[in-house]
Amino acid sequence: MTNYYYTENPDVQHDEKTWSFTLLDHDLNFTTDNGVFSKSRVDFGSCVMLDALAENEAELLAQAKILDVGCGYGPIGLALAKKWPANHVDMVDVNNLAMDLAKKNARNNGISNVSIFPSNQYEGVTITDYDFVLTNPPIRAGKPVVHGILSGAYDHLKVGGRLVVVIQKKQGAPSAQKKMVEVFGNCQVLKKNKGYFILEAVKEA
């Protein structure tokens, strides 16, 4: 077994910790554990993504139907749900430990406009009309997994819906951009910060 976070049941010695972090002007408490991504603080890429979304898509996010793919213990999805309580966020991950933590974090922060359930990419996702699919993809799981997440988003978005991705240039941002253009016919860079790219593709009619 491995304690690698992109597995269904990471084989870890548990070491839960709870800490607070400010996202989108809200102080959130997160409980994390060994076997999840970025257990000590919200990773920089997720912060850049949230800032980019708030700067560029606030009006659409206010009452949106959102899917957070590879949500981990929940920072992106929970921050958006807390900031805009009229939206609804579905949060999925292959890692059952991460799912349990995300549910606990939703409860502990008083966030009810979320649904959290396990899914390997889109296997457990039945909705096909999301306004947004968001992902901070598991780079270490390999390019086929990352590109599977990018390609699979198309069938779960409504026309006009948006796929938004955070990825470092050195970890494949140019390749991801090329894949998004291939699938969606378009891709723009919403924001760049310290080598992190926030990419957005729109599902056109």
Q: Which residues contact 137 (CB under 8 A, 6 or more apart)?
A: 69, 70, 145, 146, 149, 150, 165, 167
CA distance 99 to 36: 10
**Is there a domain that residue 5 lies in?**
no
CB-neighbour burial class of residue 153 (10 A; exposed 0-12, middle 13-18, buried 19+)? buried
Query: Is residue 192 included in any domain, yes or no?
Result: yes
d(Cα 100, Cα 135) in Å, to the nearest integer? 19
- CATH code, domain with 179: 3.40.50.150
In 119-174, at which residue ranges do the beta strands (DSSP E only) sit?
130-135, 157-168
Q: What is the mean pLDDT, run by run of 10 residues, along the chain of 205 residues?
A: 52 79 95 80 94 96 97 96 98 92 97 96 97 94 94 98 97 96 98 97 95
Q: Is 1 inside any structural domain?
A: no
In a domain? residue 7? no
- Looking at the domain assignment, is residue 58 inside a domain? yes
Helix (H) or strand (E) holding 92, with range, is strand 88-93
In a domain, 11, yes or no: no
**Residue 9 within any structural domain of the chain:** no
Could you tell me which residues are beta bridge partners of residue 67? Answer: 90, 133
- Name the pTM for this structure: 0.93
Residues contacting residue 1 through CB under 8 Å, at least 6 positions apart: 7, 9, 10, 11
Question: How many structural domains does the chain have?
Answer: 1
Phi, psi of 168 (to 5 degrees): -75, 150
Domain that holds residue 104: 16-203
